[in-house]
A and B are shown apart, each in its own frame.
Chain A
Amino acid sequence: MITWGDSIEKAVKKAKEEKKLVLVDFFNPG
């Protein structure tokens, strides 16, 4: 299961710490 965050800034900071990339899914709920 994927745990999605809702903050790009927090994800970028975490990605830098963990040497990962950030995947941002912009969506409109049906």
Chain B
Amino acid sequence: MVKVVTDWFIPVRISGDKQGDLFGKYLVTWTPTITIWDGEGREHYRFTGFLTPEDLCARIILDGAKAEIALKNYDLAIKCLNDVTKKYKGTCAVPEAIFYLGVAQYLSSHNPKPLREGLERLKKEFPQSEWTLRAKPYELINP
């Protein structure tokens, strides 16, 4: 957890009792809320509520990877998404990581096959996940 945060992020903590004005400015209504920003000051993702240490780590890596997709850093995103699916098995982040792995691979290669492969994996491993539902249109892609 420490290595993930220090290697990849500049960490900031905003305390409600000392900097409560920033809660209003950034529309934070409940704590804990963790947000991920880029170096241009753009917020990419946020999540709210308590997670186990393993789930928290997986969620931070997943959301960081999604931000890297938006920044077109596809190789880094793919590496991190693979890490979530392999090193954080059993965490809540895995189905979404599989979904975005297909997205990142498609965007980096313009080959739609990874989208279909992601769907097949989701159907097999997480048939009840909403991410399987979200990937359902990829059934139209030839395997």
Measured CB to CB, the residues of A under 8 A from B are: 1-9, 11-29
Contacts and interface: CB of A to CB of B under 8 A. Distances in A.
B23 to A, nearest CB: 6
Given A1-B2, A28-B17, A28-B31, A23 B12 contact: yes
A15 B39 contact: yes
A26 B48 CA distance: 9
B28 interface: yes
Given A16-B39, A22-B36, A26-B31, A5 B12 contact: yes
Q: How large is the interface on B (under 10, 10 to 19, 20 to 34, 35 or more residues)?
A: 35 or more
B10 A5 contact: yes
B60 A23 contact: yes
Nearest to A25: B13
B65 to A, nearest CB: 10
Given A6-B19, A15-B39, A22-B36, A27 B12 contact: no
B22 interface: yes
Interface of B: 2, 5-6, 8-19, 22-23, 26, 28, 31-41, 44, 60, 64, 67-68
Nearest to A3: B11
B9 A21 contact: yes
